[in-house]
Chain A
Amino acid sequence: MSLNRREFLELSAAAAALGLSGPSVARAQSADDVIRIGIAANGPRTSDPNQTTQGSDNWATEQMYEQLVRPEDGDFATTPDKYVPTLATEWTTSDDAKTWNFKLRPGVQFHKGYGEMTADDVVFTYKKAIDDGTNKTIMSNVADVVAKGPLDVEITLKSPDVNLLGTTIFSNNTCIVSKKAYEELGAEKFMTDAVGTGPYELTRFDPEWGSAMKRHDGYWGEKAKIGAVECVYIADTTARTLALLSGNVDMIEAVRAPGWVDSMLQRDSSLQFDMTVPGSFNTLHINLTRKPFDNLKVRQAVMYAIDRQAVADALKPMGGFMAGLQPDFFPAGFKTEALPSELQYKYDPEKAKALLAEAGFPGGLDFDSNCSQREDYSSTMLIVQEQLRAVGLRMNLIIGDHTAYHADNRSDKNTLAMHSSSYPPIPTQLYFQQLSSKSEVKADGKGGGNYSHYGAAMPGIDDLLAKALMATDYKTYEDTCKEIELQVLRDLPLIGLSTLSFTVARNGKVNLGYPVKSGYARWRFHRATKSA
């Protein structure tokens, strides 16, 4: 067969057109039955919920795994009675809050034909988390986990924990995995091919591209409405934004910087934004070992100089106000007006100047502080810098790489160290990590995340924290946490700057099936629908 020039050109054009249209057609055909989310990270690290170290990976694990109990979709359980039965149908606790018994849901099937979930799988999961999990802190109070029957599990604790459902049971590390699958596949393979019970099961794990899941047809509850979920990793902000605007993905993790939501809405007014409240807790550690910040008057000056409402407003709609260290609807959280007047710290730059003068600094003072270049850190700290400057607290902000910033903080190299972290409605977690003397930062890097040295440089909240952790009833726990809040507001080693919602920008055609109100930075898609 011979081709003349015209035929060759025509064939080439047809082949090129086919090449160009092929992928688009394929996308269009499957688009209605798949939800794609653009994840703000370079690639997934693992699909084993026990081994996750990267928050973004939880978007996939959230679809594939379940715990014994969970809160309602799109929310946190702010008190223990708000958890709903999931893989456990009922549970009881002993009077001393040290023995917990869970009755498991019968007929729960693991993915990929690995059979029915039993108490052995639960015991296996918990022991794996205790021995080899990435978050051993949440397991440190567990003395033993025992199968009392095929569908009956007993957890005994070393100390009472009235919040066990929040501290340990509803956690990534305690997502129930299949013992049989783990033993068959081995630990390494399980990292990229884990088997759970959730509404979606893993079909592809690609460290460069992301994770793909399909509907788990053997799911015990209401089956997922959309057939597949894909978590596509797009670290670059521009590329991720363009992927959403072009329809390549249905939703993306947002950039948590002032003005981002408005700029997106200008581009596409039909976009929806799902936000968790509170999201991250942005706190400011004041290093008590650095003069003159050991002086309470100077710390009070800092507190009066920072207009926390303005900080929250600048981050709107993602920013939120905290009167203390907890949002007001969390346990131990206060509304401003509920605090004693001297602890309300309403923005008052004149009072800040007066306090500085009383402390011996009528002309103000100069100091250095490090800050991460990440948008949420740098934008917040630049606002704080300006507010402090207005009263004479001249903070020389040294903005650097995010990883280096955290390493420096952990080596006690900062004066005013901002920290951003997500916490469930378990106040003691924040107190332990950021305020207890056990977590005091050390210059050799072997300490913890208490960058203020509270409890070591001055008496802290260790006794109150111990009392809260030993409480055998929830009221005592909550009341003690409130005492801690007040104590911290009096001593000011740590300032609650603002909350910052986790935000996802979503194509208006996707309906999640429930409103996102609160919770961790991940939510399930099993109730989602998509209109054409």
Chain B
Amino acid sequence: MGKYLAVRLADSIPTVWLVLTLVFIAMRILPGDPAIAALGDMALPEQLAEFREKMGLNVSLWQQYLNFLGGVLVFDFGKSYMNGAAVVDLIARNLPYTIELTLVATLMGFTAGVPLGVLAATKRDRLPDTGVRVFSLIGYAIPDFYLGALLLIVFALNLGWFPINGAGEGFVDRMYHIFLPALTLAFVKAAFIGRLTRTSLLEVLGKDYIRTARAKGAREPRVIYRHGLRNALLPLSTGMGLSLLATLSGSVAIELVFNRPGIGRLLISAITERDYGVIQGGVVVFALLVVAINLLMDLLYIVIDPRIRVQ
């Protein structure tokens, strides 16, 4: 297992390097000048030159690239052009909020999505099935930022049940603040998971061993949950990985709408301000999270299906 992990991690190095290089190039191609973004469009040429020198933007692109890669190796992304804070500190402050949002949304999405999928599969072509399919369709179609704004207006502004923005302090307050943004992401996730569960379970429910279980007199809940759902978990776990990644990227818009701290909001503001160090640092973290989630999913396959062995 250890060797497998090492090989998988080594495999991911070129991917991460490629992502870093693409981001570095993309930032330099993108029109806009970090010095003007930081000092204003009427800054004097001397002020701009001084800023570029201070931030290492006056050296050649190759030198900037090597400096960047060298920094990545020791997890040092330099300082923010805007406020002088260490990029690593900015990420460390924001990352927990994004992870927290992703996990809570995933939990909520699965808690709602799996039972909905089971309901739809077991009541195939009947009203509950149609209901779940319509729900899935809406979940797929509605943009998360729009749904977020809608929930904010109804539940925070008009009913006053939830806070309008921020992330809260202390566990209870944080959970209170996270409910609406997580619900927004969970809605989309539940739609996806519900549909996936339905499809996967329907396929399993047509297998011989399900018929055998029923013939042996097993009760229907046992047939569905013990024999059916358990075997439907493998494609579901693939879906979970994809869904987790989608939630991670979806958090960008949600953090803005709900004015929550997080890596997404940090990245958006950094892109607006051409804060290269923060963008590069944020993307590295996102890339590492994607690699970690993919690896985790692969390991989960082994746990779920003992027939899969590490080769």
- Residues of chain A having any CB pair with chain B under 8 Å: 18-20, 22-23, 42-46, 53-54, 134, 136-137, 188, 191, 207-209, 232, 234-236, 238-240, 242-243, 245-246, 248, 400-404, 406-410, 419, 421, 433, 445-449
| Cα distance, A232 to B44, chains bound together (Å) | 30
Question: Would B39 and A407 count as touching, CB distance under 8 A?
Answer: no
Contact of A403 among B84, B153, B160, B274 (CB under 8 A): B274
Q: Counting CB contacts under 8 A, is B212 at the interface?
A: no
Question: Would B259 and A243 count as touching, CB distance under 8 A?
Answer: yes
| Cα distance, A433 to B272, chains bound together (Å) | 25
Question: Would A403 and B32 count as touching, CB distance under 8 A?
Answer: yes
Contact of A409 among B41, B45, B176, B256 (CB under 8 A): B41
Contacts of B273 in A (CB 8 A): 42, 403
> With A239-B258, A242-B153 in contact, do A207 and B83 touch (Cβ < 8 Å)?
yes
The chain A residue with its CB closest to the CB of B89 is: A207
| Cα distance, A136 to B259, chains bound together (Å) | 34
The chain A residue with its CB closest to the CB of B274 is: A403
Contacts of A239 in B (CB 8 A): 152, 164-165, 256-259
Question: Would B44 and A20 count as touching, CB distance under 8 A?
Answer: no
24 contacts between A and B (CB under 8 A): A19-B175, A22-B176, A23-B176, A43-B83, A54-B82, A207-B83, A234-B259, A235-B256, A236-B256, A239-B164, A239-B258, A243-B164, A243-B165, A246-B164, A248-B163, A401-B32, A403-B33, A403-B36, A406-B33, A407-B33, A407-B36, A410-B36, A421-B41, A445-B33
Question: Would A236 and B274 count as touching, CB distance under 8 A?
Answer: no
Nearest Cβ on chain B to A221's Cβ, whole angstroms: 31
Nearest Cβ on chain A to B165's Cβ, whole angstroms: 6
Nearest Cβ on chain A to B29's Cβ, whole angstroms: 11
> With A53-B82, A191-B84, A248-B165 in contact, do A22 and B36 touch (Cβ < 8 Å)?
no
Contacts of B156 in A (CB 8 A): 242, 246
Q: Counting CB contacts under 8 A, is B56 at the interface?
A: no
> With A248-B163, A447-B45, A448-B44 in contact, do A134 and B39 touch (Cβ < 8 Å)?
yes
Contacts of A234 in B (CB 8 A): 165, 259
Question: Would B272 and A403 count as touching, CB distance under 8 A?
Answer: yes
Contacts of A401 in B (CB 8 A): 31-32, 272
The chain B residue with its CB closest to the CB of A27 is: B163
| Cα distance, A248 to B165, chains bound together (Å) | 8
Nearest Cβ on chain A to B147's Cβ, whole angstroms: 13
Question: Would B83 and A46 count as touching, CB distance under 8 A?
Answer: yes
Q: Counting CB contacts under 8 A, is B213 at the interface?
A: no
Interface centre among A18, A23, A408, A449 (most CB of B within 10 A): A23
Interface string of B167-199 (1 = CB under 8 A from A): 010001101100000000000000000000000
Q: Counting CB contacts under 8 A, is B142 at the interface?
A: no
Contacts of A446 in B (CB 8 A): 45, 49
| Cα distance, A44 to B269, chains bound together (Å) | 12
Q: Counting CB contacts under 8 A, is B300 at the interface?
A: no
Contacts of B172 in A (CB 8 A): 18-19, 22
Contacts of A421 in B (CB 8 A): 41-42
Pair count A-B, CB < 8 A: 134
Question: Would A235 and B160 count as touching, CB distance under 8 A?
Answer: no
> With A136-B44, A243-B165, A404-B30 in contact, do A23 and B153 touch (Cβ < 8 Å)?
no
Q: Among residues 50 to 67 in chain B, which have CB atoms less than 8 Å away from a CB atom of chain A?
A: none
Q: Counting CB contacts under 8 A, is B69 at the interface?
A: no
| Cα distance, A410 to B42, chains bound together (Å) | 9
Contacts of A402 in B (CB 8 A): 272
Contacts of A23 in B (CB 8 A): 163, 168, 173, 176
Across the A-B interface, the 5 shortest Cβ-Cβ residue pairs:
A42-B269, A404-B31, A406-B41, A403-B32, A208-B261
Q: Apart from A239-B256, A403-B33, A447-B45, list 8 A-B contacts with CB within 8 A.
A: A20-B176, A42-B265, A42-B268, A191-B84, A243-B164, A248-B163, A404-B31, A407-B32
Contacts of B49 in A (CB 8 A): 446
Q: How many B residues face the partner with a CB closer than 8 A? A: 52
Contacts of B44 in A (CB 8 A): 136-137, 448
Nearest Cβ on chain A to B264's Cβ, whole angstroms: 12
| Cα distance, A449 to B44, chains bound together (Å) | 8
Question: Would B259 and A22 count as touching, CB distance under 8 A?
Answer: no
Contacts of B257 in A (CB 8 A): 236, 238-239
| Cα distance, A440 to B78, chains bound together (Å) | 34
> With A239-B258, A403-B37, A421-B42 in contact, do A45 and B82 touch (Cβ < 8 Å)?
yes
Question: Would B41 and A449 count as touching, CB distance under 8 A?
Answer: yes
Q: Counting CB contacts under 8 A, is B40 at the interface?
A: yes
The chain A residue with its CB closest to the CB of B162 is: A20
Contacts of B36 in A (CB 8 A): 403, 406-407, 410
Q: Counting CB contacts under 8 A, is B302 at the interface?
A: no
Question: Would A209 and B261 count as touching, CB distance under 8 A?
Answer: yes
The chain B residue with its CB closest to the CB of A403 is: B32
The chain A residue with its CB closest to the CB of B47 is: A136
Contacts of A43 in B (CB 8 A): 83, 269
Contacts of A408 in B (CB 8 A): 31
| Cα distance, A232 to B165, chains bound together (Å) | 10
The chain A residue with its CB closest to the CB of B84 is: A191
Question: Would B157 and A242 count as touching, CB distance under 8 A?
Answer: yes
Question: Would A191 and B83 count as touching, CB distance under 8 A?
Answer: yes
| Cα distance, A246 to B82, chains bound together (Å) | 31
The chain A residue with its CB closest to the CB of B46 is: A136
Contacts of A208 in B (CB 8 A): 93-94, 261, 265-266
Q: Counting CB contacts under 8 A, is B99 at the interface?
A: no
Question: Would A419 and B41 count as touching, CB distance under 8 A?
Answer: yes
Nearest Cβ on chain A to B80's Cβ, whole angstroms: 8
Contacts of B40 in A (CB 8 A): 53
Nearest Cβ on chain A to B270's Cβ, whole angstroms: 9
Interface centre among B82, B268, B273 (most CB of A within 10 A): B82
> With A239-B257, A243-B164 in contact, do A448 and B45 touch (Cβ < 8 Å)?
yes
| Cα distance, A209 to B168, chains bound together (Å) | 11
The chain B residue with its CB closest to the CB of A267 is: B157
Question: Would A246 and B160 count as touching, CB distance under 8 A?
Answer: yes
Nearest Cβ on chain A to B51's Cβ, whole angstroms: 9
Nearest Cβ on chain A to B13's Cβ, whole angstroms: 31
| Cα distance, A408 to B272, chains bound together (Å) | 15
| Cα distance, A191 to B83, chains bound together (Å) | 8
